[in-house]
Amino acid sequence: MKKTCICIFFVVSCVFSLSAWSLLSLSPSRPECVTDELNKLLEQKHFEKDSDAIIGFTKDFSLADRQAIFDYYKLDGEKAADDNYNWYFPCFGFGSFAEGDSKGGVILLVSDIVFWGTAYTGTFMFCFSLFDMFGLTAPVHEVAGQTGYDVERSKSLMIGGLIAAGVGFVGGMVADLVYGGIRPRNYANAQNAALKSALGLDSTDAKVSLQPVIVPSVNPANTSYGLSLSIRM
């Protein structure tokens, strides 16, 4: 039995190790053209504010390198929105903070503390009123110098708890779902557009020039002459 458990443990450890290594190997690697200084700048995820610095770092990069930088560092608004919302507990603006949006993260952090704190307080009040009905809170009343079970007190505590829990949960979920869902997407779109523009990948910034070139054409075989027209883009 002991040998069997050891074998199972060994197999499970190997499987988890191989899975972890596969996930790490499949993750995209940083473009080779990106220096540590440029990586530190891009990791801040403030592309609008740092656009001039990004232009200076990447002015001599090839188009392929710039595209690789954009693909690697662009923000994912969908993921940030998902990380801001959970059905069971507050996320405190985790998705926005991870995206680099400190303002949106602080707003969600404060709203989660207020709304979810109210919700959990109301839930505690409601549960306490139920325990009070069954006499389970008698020691608490004795410490507070109160009498035992009081119908009016328990009723008001239950109603107040239900209202607080309802308002808190609804307010917290709406704030996380609506604001926490819209803000990260808008932030990501704005920052990605700024990054694309700084890297020179914005189609509106692409300049195409047509230069007609006239070249004399001579065919010595039949002693013919002419002009050829070519266009450089």
Q: Rounded CA gap, 48 and 59, in Å?
A: 17
H helix and E strand count, the chain: 10, 2
Q: Rounded CA gap, 63 and 212, in Å?
A: 25
Tell the burial category of 93 from Cβ atoms under 10 Å away from its Cβ (0-12, 13-18, 19+).
buried
Query: CA distances (Å), 168 to each of 2, 8, 109, 124, 177, in order?
Result: 52, 47, 14, 12, 14
Q: Which domain holds residue 97?
A: 31-204
In terms of C-beta distances under 8 Å and separation of at least 24 residues, what long-range contacts does 127-135 make, across chains too? 127/161, 128/157, 128/161, 129/154, 129/155, 129/157, 129/158, 129/161, 130/158, 132/157
| pLDDT mean across residues, the chain | 79
Question: Quick check: 229 pLDDT over 70?
Answer: no
Task: Tell me, yes or no, whether 219 lies in a domain.
Answer: no
Whether residue 125 contacts residue 82, with contact meaning beta carbons closer than 8 Å, is answered with no
pLDDT band at 227 (very low <50, low <70, confident <90, very high): low
Task: Tell me, yes or no, whether 225 lies in a domain.
Answer: no
Task: Tell me, yes or no, whether 62 lies in a domain.
Answer: yes
Work out the average pLDDT over 30-35. 92
Amino acid 189: pLDDT: 96
Task: Tell me, yes or no, whether 181 lies in a domain.
Answer: yes
Q: Rounded CA gap, 93 and 105, in Å?
A: 4
Counting the structural domains of the chain, the total is 1
Amino acid 11: pLDDT: 38
* Token duo for residue 162: 């239900």
* Token duo for residue 48: 């609008």
Q: What angle do CA 149, 151, 153 make, to 5 degrees?
A: 85
Question: Quick check: 17 pLDDT over 80?
Answer: no
State the amino acid at position 61 in one-letter form. Answer: F
User: What is the per-residue pLDDT across 90-135, written as a single tens digit (0 to 9) for each?
Assistant: 999 999 999 999 999 999 999 999 999 999 999 998 888 877 776 6
Task: Tell me, yes or no, whether 8 lies in a domain.
Answer: no
pLDDT band at 53 (very low <50, low <70, confident <90, very high): very high
User: What is the per-residue pLDDT across 142-170, written as a single tens digit (0 to 9) for each?
Assistant: 555 565 556 777 788 889 999 999 999 99
Task: Tell me, yes or no, whether 10 lies in a domain.
Answer: no
Question: Quick check: 206 pLDDT over 50?
Answer: no
Task: Tell me, yes or no, whether 38 lies in a domain.
Answer: yes
Task: Tell me, yes or no, whether 114 lies in a domain.
Answer: yes
